[in-house]
Structure 1
Amino acid sequence: MAVSLANITLRQLRALAALAESGSVTGAARKLHLTQPAITLQLRAMQDLATLPLIQRVGSGVQLTEAGLELLHLSQRIEAAIADSQQALALISGQSRGRVRIGAVSTAKYFMPFAIAAFTRANPGIEVMLSIGNRETIIGALRGYSLDFAIMGRPPPDVAVQRHLIGDHPHVIIAPAGHWLAHDEGLAVNDLTHEVFLTRELGSGTRSLMERLFATANLTPTIGMEFDSNESIKQGIMAGLGIAFISAHTVATELEDGRLITLDIAGLPLVQQWFAIRRSDKILLPPAQKAFDFMAQEAARFLPKPPMGRPLSKA
């Protein structure tokens, strides 16, 4: 039987999206303020149109099949288009001068608020909504069309994007002031075999880069604790819980005032780049395009400048 989605409805797509988010028909019904039979009816009707199973039961509830995920992506594109059209109509009617939805990986919070402040001073009528998350979270938001653009490092491999380089993003290994290796020069990564590392959670770009660094050295670091924020890592290091591989932009102040130090490791600082990234298939309304162009051209001015005494190595 041929697949025909000509009669698919927004109500059906929203039922599927609610199911994907909640993991159960009960949760989807609660989210949409409908009864469970109503949700089930919408899902069955959509499955009849798709002629393929859209959900499958698992131990803890239900999850989407490959066909279900495809229709979830359709739902996300439609919801993003509706939001854009609402904003476009508000712009046309003069009710608004626009809204911009920006996502940024958590390390970017050390400069993005300053860049946004400069943008809003120059464009006081444009409202900026900033979402902060780890790399995995921001990539998910890009996939779901819920962002106009994102500030991050490596672009997602499975999404066609347009990107503009902002600037270098160095990474270093930091330790508390007075660490026993503080005055040693020319250390190798393998010299850190007996050190305990504090690290970001899985899904973090910094965590992924650290794992690549140690894999190159054929070394498995000893992980003491995982943290979901750079601030917690810094406090843990100053408390003597270990050392860390971290973005130099997150520790510029602490390095400057001597509360933390960088260890002199061969090949470090390791440098990636910051990019302003947008989906190639997402049309930006004028306010979002203006913000994207501003970040591509001006955000580099707001990057922290940590004290660095050694040459940079490109990641």
Structure 2
Amino acid sequence: MHYTFNQLRIYRAVVENKSVTKAAEELHMTQPAVSVQLRNLQDQFAIPLTEVIGRQLYVTEFGRELYHMAGIIMQQVDEINYRAQSFEGLLSGKLKISVASTGKYVMPYYLKDFLKAHPAIDLIMDVTNKSKVIESLEDNEVDFSLVSVMPQALDLHQEVLLPNKLYLAGAVDSNIKTTRRTNKSVFDGLPLIFREEGSGTRVLMQQYFQKAGIVPKVRMELTSNEAVKQAVMAGLGYSIQSILSMKNELKNGEIRIIPVKELPLLEHWRLVWRRSKKMSVVATAFLEHIQKNKQKIYAAHFSWIERY
């Protein structure tokens, strides 16, 4: 048998994406190149690794076993590289973080200087919704997660990073007349844009409406913060959004904050990790970096939110 490490890497990407096309996009390869490598790997075995029924790709029982064994091989190869780098005096290894989607406006600033100081570290950051972030913690797949709504069912440590303020946002040409005394009655009949189920922003909105006795008029649900912003700017409706996600739109006059006496909703962005987690050297170093520098990072990149 003459299969290669690269073929195993490509095969794992195909299995994880359940698609040759999506694997090619993830690996920055052409679809034919991925198909050739997958076929060359298959030629090494008499037993099929995958099957295509209709247009859906399925992994055989042997294919699943190969997937797991290939993962072990790749981890061992990574470990060889990390060990070699450590002998050169470099801090190296993987740092795995899952981030609630709006947290993409936050996490890069807390990673920047750390990764610059330790270029041998490989970062794996999954930006997804709150439900999948919690799932990654439950399955012990990540070192840390960034959340704005604290998961209740897990035993977690936390490091509070910065406030998460959520305001009612509308198009700049919105005809809503408001004053500083505008109250919750502004929501009467207001067409609202919600995030999908599982979003932390949606949870905060629902908690607010329930507590205030408001029955929201939901015009649409969208699956990303960017999609919500575009819909708001186009005048399709209004939404309660994190101030962090609207920085550029506010600066460019593309979106308007509508003052409501009971707003902003206030939560905090938190770096969380399981109490039972056995931290790697890399994860420990990152946590120390956060604890030492979080106030400086906030002052440099996020103090502007205090103007709102």
TM-score normalised per structure 2: 0.70
**CA distance, structure 2, for counterparts of residue 256 and residue 35 of structure 1:** 52
**CA distance, structure 2, for counterparts of residue 119 and residue 309 of structure 1:** 28
**CA distance, structure 1, for counterparts of residue 293 and residue 73 of structure 2:** 30
Residue 163 (str. 1) matches residue 158 (str. 2): yes
**Do 1:151 and 1:277's aligned partners in 2 also have CA atoms closer than 8 Å?**
yes
One-letter amino acid matched to 1:34: F
One-letter amino acid matched to 2:283: A
> In the alignment, which residue of structure 1 is the partner of 2:3?
none
Describe how 1:82-121 pairs up with structure 2 within 5 A. 91-92=82-83, 94=85, 97-121=92-116
The answer for unaligned runs of 5 or more in structure 2 is 1-14, 19-50, 66-70
SS in structure 2 of the partner of residue 266 of structure 1 = coil
How much has 1:128 moved relative to structure 2? 1.1
How much has 1:32 moved relative to structure 2? 5.5
Match among 282, 287, 291 for residue 292 of structure 1: 287
SS in structure 1 of the partner of residue 112 of structure 2 = helix
**CA distance, structure 2, for counterparts of residue 281 and residue 144 of structure 1:** 12
Residue 215 (str. 1) matches residue 192 (str. 2): no
**Do 1:252 and 1:304's aligned partners in 2 also have CA atoms closer than 8 Å?**
no
**CA distance, structure 1, for counterparts of residue 117 and residue 265 of structure 2:** 34
SS in structure 2 of the partner of residue 145 of structure 1 = coil
> In the alignment, which residue of structure 1 is the partner of 2:262?
267
**CA distance, structure 2, for counterparts of residue 269 and residue 84 of structure 1:** 45
How much has 1:171 moved relative to structure 2? 0.7
> In the alignment, which residue of structure 2 is the partner of 1:76?
none
Match among 144, 149, 154 for residue 149 of structure 2: 154
How much has 1:109 moved relative to structure 2? 0.5
SS in structure 2 of the partner of residue 34 of structure 1 = helix
Aligned residues: 248
One-letter amino acid matched to 2:239: A
> In the alignment, which residue of structure 2 is the partner of 1:283?
278
> Could you say if the C-alpha distance between residues 289 and 307 of structure 1 is closer, same or farther in structure 2, counting changes exceeding 3 Å?
closer
One-letter amino acid matched to 1:291: F
Match among 198, 202, 214 for residue 193 of structure 2: 198
**CA distance, structure 2, for counterparts of residue 283 and residue 90 of structure 1:** 21
> In the alignment, which residue of structure 2 is the partner of 1:132?
127
Deviating runs (4+, > 6 A) in structure 1?
80-89
**CA distance, structure 2, for counterparts of residue 35 and residue 100 of structure 1:** 28
**CA distance, structure 1, for counterparts of residue 80 and residue 155 of structure 2:** 28
**CA distance, structure 2, for counterparts of residue 239 and residue 177 of structure 1:** 9
Match among 136, 144, 147 for residue 141 of structure 1: 136
**CA distance, structure 2, for counterparts of residue 207 and residue 125 of structure 1:** 38
**CA distance, structure 2, for counterparts of residue 266 and residue 100 of structure 1:** 42
Match among 226, 235, 240 for residue 230 of structure 2: 235
Output one character per residue of 1:184-217: Cα deviation in whole Å (capped at 9) or x when no partner. 3311123211110011101101001000111111
**CA distance, structure 2, for counterparts of residue 297 and residue 255 of structure 1:** 31
One-letter amino acid matched to 2:266: V
Deviates more, 1:227-236 or 1:299-308: 299-308
How much has 1:91 moved relative to structure 2? 4.3
**CA distance, structure 1, for counterparts of residue 279 and residue 287 of structure 2:** 9
One-letter amino acid matched to 1:276: L
> Could you say if the C-alpha distance between residues 132 and 149 of structure 1 is closer, same or farther in structure 2, counting changes exceeding 3 Å?
same
Q: Percent of aligned pairs with the same residue?
A: 22
SS in structure 1 of the partner of residue 62 of structure 2 = coil
**Do 1:91 and 1:97's aligned partners in 2 also have CA atoms closer than 8 Å?**
yes
**Do 2:172 and 2:253's aligned partners in 1 also have CA atoms closer than 8 Å?**
yes
Tell me the C-alpha RMSD between the 2 structures. Answer: 3.4
SS in structure 2 of the partner of residue 235 of structure 1 = helix
**Do 2:94 and 2:123's aligned partners in 1 also have CA atoms closer than 8 Å?**
yes
TM-score normalised per structure 1: 0.69
Output one character per residue of 1:17-69: Cα deviation in whole Å (capped at 9) or x when no partner. x9xx9xxxx99x94354289x9xxxxxxxxxxxxxxxxxxxxxxxxxxxxxxx
Residue 189 (str. 1) matches residue 189 (str. 2): no
How much has 1:119 moved relative to structure 2? 1.6
One-letter amino acid matched to 1:169: N
Describe how 1:8-23 pairs up with structure 2 within 5 A. none
> Could you say if the C-alpha distance between residues 81 and 150 of structure 1 is closer, same or farther in structure 2, counting changes exceeding 3 Å?
farther
> In the alignment, which residue of structure 2 is the partner of 1:34?
62
How much has 1:178 moved relative to structure 2? 2.5
SS in structure 1 of the partner of residue 231 of structure 2 = helix
How much has 1:124 moved relative to structure 2? 1.4
Describe how 1:70-85 pairs up with structure 2 within 5 A. none
